[in-house]
């Protein structure tokens, strides 16, 4: 008993924070600090700037800070010495390495495009409720609509979410990761409930998302506790070392395996919930459908990228040494995800729900690369995420433009899209390109991405998984193609959809999506060769920074 | 040999033409057609000039270009042709301008005046040349899959009848499924071989030479299933009659005449040479499937009531002959198969075009809607007869030579398949002549009294094909001279030798009987 207590004390005492104030390299953190600062200033603007001028200032601030953060990310990446992965900061609680910088850069670019969609104002109407606190359908709501009220809090909220997404994949220990998870999620819960039209629906989505999200956070936290119990530390490097040695200080004689497995499973549940893998995907269709479409675009691209960044880090760094333990779990999840989501997607009649299920299937494809547990897998997943992010943002941008009638709500019912290719060929053509990319047709980014992840999985011996993956691709192709058929081969129906003119913001979002989908499909080499890790590098030391020190 | 980038130009020219045609404004549809015809004609000239410089006795692959494309995955933009690829490219380049000419008025009522259709044809031509020219497996796959998209739109958007949407989707999904299985095999080739360059993969010293036989068989199957769907081979042929029935005749010419050849070409070039061991192991199953295709396609062709579908089923039968020739592993069989691919393109192309002219007149492709056409439109009927006779491989017309070679090759391999295959020839006479009799002969009904004979444009579109059928029927040597060295090289890398003709009959049958047991037992 006494020995138990003393060893527990030793465990608790080990990080001596007070004695050595950490040397924090603010340069490496600068991209996150810029976004954080802008978000805080955004809150102040809400308090002190007159309502009429808020939108312009908030939007300018948000766009400028995200752009600046992206530039800083690029500069930081350039300043990392060659041959070194990067550095852990503040006792290794934040890991700035090439992988996290790539994910952060991707999140920032996609976030910038999402901000453009969020900012789109059509005749003074944005996609967001005039006054979220007003009861839907009430007199108060009408007054606010007539007065043209706007929620400019949206911008700082998005910035906070982006901050969480930057930190989430760059966490160096489990507690930082949990905080990042919450910083990322809380603003999103709120943003989901702010749709201008079908407000009850939107609020329902927000509540669902919040409840299920809180539930998964609890799983995650509980898993962290288990892992801490096993390893005696929440630091990724320490956990990895404990696994390699067969147990932390408390389990020096072995016997900690159940605790570790429980921990891996529970942490896995939390992360798999965020990426929306089956069976933790139930929130996705409802939330994607109910949320304002620009926010859906933000979640479908940035959140997915960030969540996978975190998932990759957790499974490659702290749990890397026990890959044999978690691989079977991820096999099952990946197969379920690819098969079930593809089959369910076939039955969908709503474009946003369909894209939600499609995003679930794509999460399954990325999981095949995670299972590879190799640098190729890491690189394949990173490329896939970037490629998918651009394409999906473009697709949701198109969704925002197709309305039931001028000034009407979005026409999300698929049957309403009949004949779109005849009435607005350019828009339908862009969406067709995005859908072909989702289906993985060559000369689009989706194909190169699929090739990259499947190649990694197959090289790691997961051939059955690849076969399931291509069969599921064939099923997904069915519903993507059905949309193309509907748009191009069907006659426009009576009272068919009205395509509102794309504003400069939405237009550029679609244009960037088209350009990225095409360029990454035809000339992927600049990204593949320079931005993501090359094959042949040892995985742990030189790819993902685990401990403090390093760069400077 | 020069360093002039012939093949890249031949791919780029129609691709750029396609973009130019697509960008023309709607009102200039007539200009678009002329531009399309001009570009396809220029491509034909370019390809012909290239073919003139091909040295049959020279290197296996000529006009090669290799540039790194995606170095990370070892992917190169690598093109080059051997004799077989060269004649197939030539055939495509000949067919496309004729299709453009034949389709001149077909889509005038489309909202865009048919401009989009011609842009798609040009895009397809670029990919067709690319798929035959690719010498990098990844690049081949890219063209193989990307080709589906233009054809999909050509059927779904510009096709005929109510069924066209369903037919387009069926075509696309069938092909995608095959293509995705092939993707697994393509990745497998890279994982096990470490390169995508065809020239480094094949042969005794090639990267795949040491492949474990079981893996090789799975990879072979991945490629083979995709090619069998494309070819199309029984039992994965069901998309073709639907697709052909819902296509404009011009689309059908390119679909059956060229696209499906990618399947048989792929078998010869990729299945056989990359996985010789597995290919030898699969000889008997494939021969059996080919025989089923030959007989099944022919029987179903006999009972069709729609000419487009009938021709599609005859093609299933003919593709059975081609795969039979490829897999009997004799040089006559493979030469015959390669030659058959070209001749079938011309013969079936001519048949589809003539049916297209009938459709343009009466708006129907049902056999029952025609009778006695010959008396009113003798030239049309004559062309129909000649191309039909070519389809049944009448001596003096080019398909005869290739079918004969396939038979010789098959007989040398084993007499029984040759005998079964001959059923297909008998049935071919039945379905062609019966169709001719029902539509062209007899008294002319009232409804057809205003039928016109071929116009100048239509004659111009179909005459070259008829001429080629006759010329290569009498003198196939130029084609064989180009094809044979490539076939010999293929035989060499498969490790197959022609059975010597003078062997005791009993010994041959017992030897092959043992092989048959081995092949069929698994």
Interchain pair A442, B156: CB under 8 A:
no
Find the mean pLDDT for residues B509-518. 44
CA–CA separation, A251 and A241 (whole Å)? 13
Minimal C-alpha gap between B204 and chain A (Å): 24
| pLDDT reported for residue A82 | 67
| pLDDT reported for residue B484 | 84
Minimal C-alpha gap between B179 and chain A (Å): 9
Angle between helices B83-102 and B331-362 (to 10 degrees): 10
Asked if A486 has any chain B CB less than 8 Å from its own CB, the reply is: no
Tokens of B39: 């570009």
Question: Which stretch of A74-88, A330-344, B90-104, B467-481 has the lowest confidence by average pLDDT?
Answer: A74-88
Is residue B65 one of the residues assigned to a domain? yes
Specify whether the CB–CB gap between A28 and A551 falls below 8 A: yes
Is residue B359 one of the residues assigned to a domain? yes
Is B3 found in the same domain as B119?
yes
Is residue A14 one of the residues assigned to a domain? no
Is B410 found in the same domain as B352?
yes
Is B300 found in the same domain as B243?
no
Greater model confidence, B27 or B231: B231
Residue of A nearest to B181 (CA): A470
Residue B496 scores a pLDDT above 50: yes
Is residue B163 one of the residues assigned to a domain? yes
Q: Which residue has the tokens 């035809």?
A: A522
Is B295 found in the same domain as B147?
no
| pLDDT reported for residue B505 | 52
Is residue B279 one of the residues assigned to a domain? no
Is residue A16 one of the residues assigned to a domain? no
Tokens of A10: 């030793």
DSSP annotation of A272 reads: H
Is B395 found in the same domain as B316?
yes
Contacts of B165 in chain A (CB under 8 A): 485, 489-490
Is residue B505 one of the residues assigned to a domain? no
Is residue B230 one of the residues assigned to a domain? no
Whether omega before A201 lies within 30 degrees of 0, making that bond cis, reads: no
Contacts of B181 in chain A (CB under 8 A): 467, 470
Q: Give chain A's domain count.
A: 1
| pLDDT reported for residue B519 | 38
Residue of B nearest to A439 (CA): B176
Specify whether the CB–CB gap between B257 and B95 falls below 8 A: yes
Tell me the per-residue pLDDT of B324-336, one tens digit each, with 9 for 90 and over: 888 888 888 888 8
CB nearest B145 (choices: A441, A481, A524) = A441
Is residue A407 one of the residues assigned to a domain? yes
Asked if B72 has any chain A CB less than 8 Å from its own CB, the reply is: yes
Is B145 found in the same domain as B58?
yes
Is residue A542 one of the residues assigned to a domain? no
Asked if B214 has any chain A CB less than 8 Å from its own CB, the reply is: no
In this structure, the number of other CB atoms found within 10 A of the CB of residue B107 comes to 21
The separation between CA B456 and the C-alpha centre of its own chain, rounded to angstroms, equals: 28
Residue of B nearest to A481 (CA): B169
Asked if A443 has any chain B CB less than 8 Å from its own CB, the reply is: yes
Question: Which stretch of A67-71, A536-540, B469-473, B506-510 has the lowest confidence by average pLDDT?
Answer: A536-540
Is B376 found in the same domain as B256?
no
Asked if A436 has any chain B CB less than 8 Å from its own CB, the reply is: yes
**B residues 128..147 contacting A (CB < 8 A):** 141-143, 145-146
Is residue A212 one of the residues assigned to a domain? yes
In this structure, the number of other CB atoms found within 10 A of the CB of residue B129 comes to 32
Is residue A232 one of the residues assigned to a domain? yes
Asked if B467 has any chain A CB less than 8 Å from its own CB, the reply is: no
Specify whether the CB–CB gap between A490 and A395 falls below 8 A: no
| pLDDT reported for residue B518 | 40
Contacts of B70 in chain A (CB under 8 A): 448, 524-525, 528
Interchain pair A482, B156: CB under 8 A:
no
Task: Domain of residue A532: give its range.
Answer: 26-537
Residue of B nearest to A486 (CA): B165
Contacts of A452 in chain B (CB under 8 A): 73
Tell me the per-residue pLDDT of B400-454, one tens digit each, with 9 for 90 and over: 888 888 888 888 888 888 888 888 888 888 888 888 888 888 787 777 777 787 7
Interchain pair B177, A474: CB under 8 A:
yes
Tell me the per-residue pLDDT of B128-148, one tens digit each, with 9 for 90 and over: 999 999 989 999 999 998 888
Judging by beta carbons within 10 Å of its beta carbon (0-12, 13-18, 19+), is residue A227 exposed, middle or buried?
buried
**B residues 154..193 contacting A (CB < 8 A):** 156-157, 164-165, 168-169, 172-173, 176-177, 180-181, 183-184, 187-188, 190-191
User: How big is the CA angle at A425 (ends A424 and A429), to the nearest 5 degrees?
Assistant: 125
Whether omega before B232 lies within 30 degrees of 0, making that bond cis, reads: yes
Tell me the per-residue pLDDT of A259-279, one tens digit each, with 9 for 90 and over: 889 999 999 999 999 998 888
Tokens of B297: 């396609």
At B366, give phi and psi (nearest 5°): -80, 135
Confidence of residue B2 (pLDDT cuts 50, 70, 90): low
Report the SS3 class of residue B67: strand
Contacts of A529 in chain B (CB under 8 A): 71-72
Is B422 found in the same domain as B307?
yes
Is B423 found in the same domain as B388?
yes
In percent, the amount of chain B with pLDDT more than 90 equals 6
Interchain pair B173, A485: CB under 8 A:
no
Asked if B318 has any chain A CB less than 8 Å from its own CB, the reply is: no
Specify whether the CB–CB gap between B443 and B372 falls below 8 A: yes
Chain A and chain B share a number of CB contacts under 8 A equal to 88
CA–CA separation, B300 and B311 (whole Å)? 10
- Nearest partner of B254 among B163, B152, B324, judged by Cα: B152
DSSP annotation of A80 reads: S
Is B17 found in the same domain as B114?
yes
Asked if B475 has any chain A CB less than 8 Å from its own CB, the reply is: no
In this structure, the number of other CB atoms found within 10 A of the CB of residue A414 comes to 18
Residue of B nearest to A463 (CA): B184
Is B120 found in the same domain as B84?
yes
Is residue B186 one of the residues assigned to a domain? no
Is residue B227 one of the residues assigned to a domain? no
Q: Give chain B's domain count.
A: 2
CA–CA separation, B132 and B143 (whole Å)? 9
Secondary structure (DSSP) of B100-123? HHHTTTTTTTSTTTTHHHHHHHHH
Residue B522 scores a pLDDT above 50: no
Residues of chain A with pLDDT under 70: 1-22, 82-86, 123-124, 494-496, 530-552
| pLDDT reported for residue A53 | 87
- What is chain B's mean pLDDT, rounded? 83
Is residue A545 one of the residues assigned to a domain? no
Find the mean pLDDT for residues B235-250. 84
Asked if A463 has any chain B CB less than 8 Å from its own CB, the reply is: yes
Which residue out of A421, A443, A448, A451 would a mutagenesis test of the B interface target, given it has the greatest number of B Cβ atoms within 10 Å? A451
Residue of A nearest to B148 (CA): A441
| pLDDT reported for residue A544 | 62
Interchain pair B184, A490: CB under 8 A:
no
CB nearest A442 (choices: B142, B157, B165) = B142
Is residue A552 one of the residues assigned to a domain? no
Tokens of A267: 């942490």
Tokens of A456: 């990694």
Task: Domain of residue B412: give its range.
Answer: 285-496
Is B171 found in the same domain as B33?
yes
The separation between CA B318 and the C-alpha centre of its own chain, rounded to angstroms, equals: 10
Interchain pair B181, A470: CB under 8 A:
yes
Minimal C-alpha gap between B25 and chain A (Å): 13
**Which of B383-397, B491-505, B508-522 is modeled with the greatest confidence?**
B383-397
Q: ipTM value, please give it.
A: 0.83
């Amino acid at each position: 008993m006494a020995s138990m207590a003393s060893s527990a004390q030793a465990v608790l005492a080990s990080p001596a924070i007070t004695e050595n104030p950490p040397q924090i390299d603010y340069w490496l953190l600068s991209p996150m600090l810029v976004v954080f600062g802008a978000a805080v200033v955004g809150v102040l603007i809400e308090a002190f700037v007159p309502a009429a001028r808020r939108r312009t200032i908030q939007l300018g601030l948000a766009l400028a800070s995200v752009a600046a953060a992206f530039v800083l990310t690029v500069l930081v990446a350039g300043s990392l010495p060659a041959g070194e992965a990067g550095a852990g900061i503040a006792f290794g609680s934040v890991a700035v390495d090439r992988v996290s910088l790539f994910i952060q850069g991707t999140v920032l670019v996609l976030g910038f495009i999402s901000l453009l969609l969020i900012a789109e104002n059509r005749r003074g109407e944005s996609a967001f409720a005039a006054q979220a606190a007003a009861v839907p359908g009430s007199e108060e709501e009408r007054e606010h609509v007539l007065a043209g009220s706007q929620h400019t809090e949206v911008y700082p909220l998005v910035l906070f979410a982006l901050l969480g997404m930057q930190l989430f994949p760059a966490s160096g220990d489990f507690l930082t990761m949990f905080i990042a998870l919450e910083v990322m999620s809380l603003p999103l819960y709120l943003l989901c409930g702010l749709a201008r039209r079908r407000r009850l629906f939107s609020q329902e989505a927000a509540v669902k998302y919040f409840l299920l999200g809180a539930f998964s956070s609890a799983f995650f936290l509980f898993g962290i506790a288990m892992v801490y119990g096993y390893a005696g530390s929440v630091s990724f490097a320490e956990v990895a070392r404990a696994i390699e040695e067969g147990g932390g200080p408390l389990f020096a004689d072995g016997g900690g395996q159940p605790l570790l497995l429980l921990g891996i499973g529970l942490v896995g549940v939390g992360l798999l919930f965020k990426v929306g893998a089956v069976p933790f995907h139930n929130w996705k269709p409802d939330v994607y459908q109910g949320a304002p479409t620009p926010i859906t675009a933000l979640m479908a691209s940035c959140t997915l990228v960030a969540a996978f960044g975190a998932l990759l880090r957790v499974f490659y760094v702290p749990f890397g040494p026990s890959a044999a333990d978690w691989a079977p779990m991820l096999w099952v999840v990946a197969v379920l995800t690819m098969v079930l989501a593809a089959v369910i997607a076939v039955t969908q009649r709503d474009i946003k729900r369909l894209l939600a299920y499609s995003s679930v299937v794509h999460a399954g494809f990325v999981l095949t690369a995670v299972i590879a547990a190799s640098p190729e897998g890491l690189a394949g997943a990173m490329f896939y995420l970037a490629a998918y992010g651009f394409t999906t943002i473009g697709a949701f941008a198109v969704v925002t433009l197709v309305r039931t009638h001028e000034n009407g709500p979005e026409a999300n019912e698929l049957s309403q899209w009949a004949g779109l290719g005849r009435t607005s060929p350019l828009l339908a053509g862009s969406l067709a390109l995005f859908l072909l990319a989702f289906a993985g047709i060559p000369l689009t980014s989706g194909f190169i991405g699929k090739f990259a992840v499947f190649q990694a999985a197959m090289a790691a011996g997961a051939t059955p998984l690849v076969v399931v993956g291509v069969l599921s691709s064939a099923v997904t192709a069915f519903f993507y193609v059905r949309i193309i058929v509907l748009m191009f081969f069907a006659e426009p129906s009576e009272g068919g959809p009205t395509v509102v003119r794309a504003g400069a913001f939405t237009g550029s979002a679609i244009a960037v999506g088209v350009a990225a989908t095409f360029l990454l499909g035809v000339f992927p080499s600049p990204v593949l060769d320079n931005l993501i890790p090359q094959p042949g590098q040892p995985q742990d030391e030189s790819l993902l920074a685990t401990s403090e020190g390093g760069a400077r | 040999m020069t360093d002039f980038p012939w093949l890249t130009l031949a791919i780029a020219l129609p691709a750029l033409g396609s973009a130019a045609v697509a960008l023309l404004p709607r009102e200039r549809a007539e200009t678009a057609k002329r531009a399309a015809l001009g570009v396809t004609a220029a491509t034909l000239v370019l390809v012909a000039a290239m073919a003139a410089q091909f040295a049959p006795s020279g290197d296996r692959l000529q006009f090669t270009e290799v540039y790194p494309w995606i170095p990370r995955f070892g992917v190169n933009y690598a093109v080059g042709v051997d004799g077989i690829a060269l004649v197939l490219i030539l055939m495509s380049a000949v067919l496309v301008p004729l299709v453009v000419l034949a389709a001149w008025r077909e889509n005038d009522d489309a909202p865009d005046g048919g401009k989009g259709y011609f842009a798609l044809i040009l895009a397809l031509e670029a990919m067709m040349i690319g798929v035959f020219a690719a010498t990098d497996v990844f690049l081949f796959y890219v063209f193989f899959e990307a080709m589906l998209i233009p054809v999909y739109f050509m059927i779904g958007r510009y096709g005929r009848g109510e069924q066209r949407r369903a037919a387009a989707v069926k075509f696309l999904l069938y092909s995608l499924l095959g293509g995705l299985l092939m993707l697994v095999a393509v990745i497998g080739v890279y994982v096990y071989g470490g390169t995508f360059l065809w020239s480094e993969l094949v042969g005794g010293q090639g990267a795949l030479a040491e492949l474990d036989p079981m893996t090789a068989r799975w990879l072979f199957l991945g490629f083979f299933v995709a090619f069998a769907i494309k070819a199309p081979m029984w039992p994965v042929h069901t998309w073709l009659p639907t697709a052909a029935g819902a296509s404009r005749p011009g689309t059908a010419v390119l679909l059956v005449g060229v696209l499906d050849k990618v399947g048989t070409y792929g078998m010869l070039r990729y299945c056989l040479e990359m996985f010789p061991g597995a290919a030898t192991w699969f000889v008997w199953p494939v021969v059996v499937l080919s025989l089923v295709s030959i007989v099944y396609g022919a029987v179903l062709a006999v009972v069709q009531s729609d000419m487009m579908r009938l021709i599609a089923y005859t093609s299933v039968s003919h593709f059975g002959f081609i795969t039979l020739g490829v897999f009997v592993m004799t040089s006559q069989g493979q030469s015959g198969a390669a030659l058959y691919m070209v001749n079938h393109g011309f013969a079936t192309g001519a048949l589809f075009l003539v049916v297209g002219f009938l459709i343009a007149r009466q708006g129907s492709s049902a056999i029952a809607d025609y009778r006695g056409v010959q008396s009113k439109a003798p030239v049309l009927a004559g062309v129909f007869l000649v191309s039909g006779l070519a389809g049944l491989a009448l001596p003096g017309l080019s398909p005869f030579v290739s079918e004969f070679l396939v038979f010789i090759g098959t007989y040398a391999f084993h007499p029984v398949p040759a005998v079964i295959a001959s059923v297909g020839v008998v049935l071919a006479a039945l379905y062609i002549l019966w169709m001719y009799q029902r539509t062209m002969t007899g008294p002319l009904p009232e409804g057809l009294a205003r039928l016109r004979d071929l116009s100048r444009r239509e004659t111009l579109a179909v005459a070259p094909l008829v001429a080629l059928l006759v010329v290569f029927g009498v003198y196939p040597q130029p084609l064989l001279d180009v094809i044979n060295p490539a076939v010999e090289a293929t035989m060499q890398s498969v490790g197959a030798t022609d059975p010597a003709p003078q062997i005791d009959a009993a010994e041959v049958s017992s030897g092959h009987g043992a092989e048959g047991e081995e092949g069929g037992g698994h």
